[in-house]
Amino acid sequence: MRWVSWRSVGGACVALASIVGSASNASANGFDVPDIGARGLGRGGALMARADDPLAIYYNPAALTLLPNPQLLLGTHFGFLSFCADAAGTYANRDLTDHGGGDTADWEGGGDATHFDSAEAEAMGFQGAWGTGDGSDAFPFPDDPLELPEVCQDGPLGVSPHLLFGMPIGDQFGLGLGLMAPSAAGHLTWGDTDDDPSRFGTIRDPSGRSANGRIPAPTRYGLVEAFPILLFPTVSFAWAPHHMLRVGVSLQWGMAIVKFLNITRAGPGADPATDIYTELNATDLFVPSVIGSVMFTPLDNGRHLFETVLWARWTDTVRASGDLELRSEYYRRDRADETQVWSDTQLEAPQTAEIRLGLRYANRYSSRPRRRSEVERVAGRTDDNMSTERFDVELDVAYELTSMVDRFVVEITDQETRLQPGGLPLPPVLNIEHQWRDTLSVRLGGDWNFLPGLAAGRVGFSFEQGAMPDSHLVLDFPALTRFGAHVGLTVRFGKFDISLAYAHFFMVSQESSGCADVAENEDCAQGRQTVAAPPDGGDIVSAGRLTASLDMLSLGVAFNFR
């Protein structure tokens, strides 16, 4: 798969902007799981109405009024991601000059998606390492092209921690404080990330024909390494004006610190002779977000309880500033060892908004007390769902406005400097089309307190539509359709509740024939006009197949102060 072919060096900014914008989007569809917390993961994310620990800060701030006592919760997800790109095309020895360097769609779409110019072989720093192994200058695939191999990301274990505190204040109010990270896969790597130019952005040669056993990764133009650090300090308030009605709000101060590396192109084709090493370090220390919820309890007759929750979230656009570092002709043996840095690169990436509706039924031993403080004073205990409910079932439906992620905008403010050698200009403004579509998700789950007050088991199911169109099948944040199967357990030891959960996410593979026929494909034409410098920029050539699956483990420990 030729993930992206750029006509100008502006592609260095474009590719990374796409990655940063998507990865900064903590709420976007993709490799994020149904929200945070072991209890939430075990129920398939169906925890809005059931939220009865500090996870209410995220799932349903109105439920902070129902916490049995002040609680401190520490937890994390551990993500094991399998994500592979099977590109279409071959490694072929083609002379790019025969094609005039103009519109590349007519020949790139034909299947030879990666090309090398043998006329420049002697100057290539990789020639000695990636050549035939007998010392000759020929690239090892001139007459017998190698199919582009499947490449799988090989990043470390993903960790998504959270530290939350929640407490009821009397019978009508609640307060929450927290620090959380998005529940996502996290650190991603595609190919070797060694600083050595003969290895960075390369993969093992499955044919064994290259001298050092390495070849350029077909995915190097999409992504080599992504390392985002995203945190959301949060404060929450809740009020219960009536025992049947509760409202709450969580205010989040988002912070994003990101580092992304890839290889980009200054011209058509995929000859490494003019590949550009690209590194972006960007920061946005204020991305405000608001979560609000309204909780209504129309039925509580002692044995049966029915609750509904309406939930909404809005997140401001990410506006990050940082340094863009470029090293042109990165793989050439004779290149000047020069690094150029643009220190005032601006990224603008829209975020999504979301609304949810939750419905929960619980079978109880007794009614929920209207004056919990009075029950505590008389009985010496709190009203805790783990003790007072036999079981519950919850259904949550979410509609996410992912169509808000239409494009990302990158601005290079320093226009006095040109990329050397050659003096190629950097476009002042770049628009990167994503054109995501809105998504619908369903989460179904429940708890069974098989040892009331001591142990509870849970199961869940989740489904989420993919947001990514075939015409923009890229590696930055592939939002694939997914199904999830979930299980979990909570065991109480004195004042500690220890929760474990596991989920497996089945991702629906997505395939594209690319954008070879730009004239007859409106989506491709739109991408071509906006992702590279006008007037005759490169095309998105996303011919190939994405496959993925995700396994998540989660651990949470809650301390009850009473």
- The secondary element (H helix, E strand) that includes residue 491 is strand 482-493
- The secondary element (H helix, E strand) that includes residue 16 is helix 11-24
349 φ, ψ to 5°?
A: -130, 115
pTM: 0.82
> Is there a domain that residue 180 lies in?
yes
332/276 Cα distance (integer angstroms): 10
Q: Where are the alpha helices (DSSP H) in 366-479?
A: 372-379, 385-388
CATH code: domain of residue 231: 2.40.160.60
371-415, pLDDT tens digit by residue?
766 666 544 556 788 989 999 999 999 999 888 877 777 777 765
- The answer to whether 106 and 517 have CB atoms below 8 angstroms apart is no
> Is there a domain that residue 272 lies in?
yes
3-state class percentages of the chain: helix first, strand second, coil last, to nearest 5: 15, 45, 40
Q: Which residue has the tokens 């995203």?
A: 230
Q: Where are the alpha helices (DSSP H) in 35-174?
A: 38-42, 56-59, 105-108, 127-130
Q: What is the predicted pLDDT for the residue at 304?
A: 94
76/556 Cα distance (integer angstroms): 7
Both tokens of residue 220? 């190097």
Strands 214-216 and 202-204: antiparallel
By the 10 Å C-beta count (0-12 exposed, 13-18 middle, 19+ buried), 404 is classed as: middle
Question: Which are the contacts of 322, defined by CB distance < 8 A and separation ≥ 6?
Answer: 258, 280, 281, 282, 283, 345, 347
Question: Which are the contacts of 109, defined by CB distance < 8 A and separation ≥ 6?
Answer: 514, 515, 516, 517, 541, 543
- The secondary element (H helix, E strand) that includes residue 21 is helix 11-24
64/169 Cα distance (integer angstroms): 9
Query: Which residues, in sequence order, are bridge partners of residue 323?
Result: 281
> Is there a domain that residue 5 lies in?
no
> Is there a domain that residue 4 lies in?
no
- The answer to whether 75 and 162 have CB atoms below 8 angstroms apart is yes
545/342 Cα distance (integer angstroms): 35
Query: Domain count of the chain?
Result: 1
28/206 Cα distance (integer angstroms): 35
44/462 Cα distance (integer angstroms): 5
438/421 Cα distance (integer angstroms): 43
DSSP summary character for residue 419? B
> Is there a domain that residue 189 lies in?
yes
Question: Which are the contacts of 171, defined by CB distance < 8 A and separation ≥ 6?
Answer: 65, 240, 370, 371, 372, 373
Cα 254 to the center of its chain, rounded Å: 16
Domain residues for 477?
Answer: 11-560
146-179, pLDDT tens digit by residue?
777 888 888 777 788 999 999 999 889 999 999 9
Smallest Cα–Cα separation from 477: which of 1, 159, 105, 15?
Answer: 15
Beta-carbon count within 10 A of 155 CB? 18
The CA angle 10-11-14, to the nearest 5 degrees, is 95
- Residue 29 identity: N
For the chain, 562 residues long, give each residue's pLDDT as a single digit of tens.
333 333 334 444 443 433 333 333 333 334 455 678 999 999 999 999 998 899 999 999 999 999 988 999 999 999 888 888 887 777 654 433 333 333 333 323 333 444 444 444 444 445 555 555 555 545 556 566 677 788 888 877 778 899 999 999 988 999 999 998 876 666 778 888 877 777 788 888 887 777 777 888 888 877 788 777 788 999 999 999 998 999 999 999 998 888 888 887 665 556 666 678 888 888 999 999 999 999 999 999 889 999 999 999 999 988 888 888 888 777 766 666 667 787 888 888 888 899 999 999 999 988 887 776 666 654 455 678 898 999 999 999 999 988 887 777 777 776 555 565 556 666 666 666 667 789 999 999 999 999 999 999 999 999 999 887 776 666 666 678 999 999 999 999 999 999 999 999 999 988 876 554 444 444 444 333 333 333 333 334 456 788 888 899 999 999 998 7
Beta-carbon count within 10 A of 420 CB? 13
> Is there a domain that residue 543 lies in?
yes
Both tokens of residue 341? 């840095």
Smallest Cα–Cα separation from 557: which of 26, 7, 37, 23?
Answer: 37
393 φ, ψ to 5°?
A: -135, 135
> Is there a domain that residue 6 lies in?
no
DSSP summary character for residue 119? G
> Is there a domain that residue 1 lies in?
no
- The answer to whether 335 and 275 have CB atoms below 8 angstroms apart is no
512/434 Cα distance (integer angstroms): 15
Cα 561 to the center of its chain, rounded Å: 35
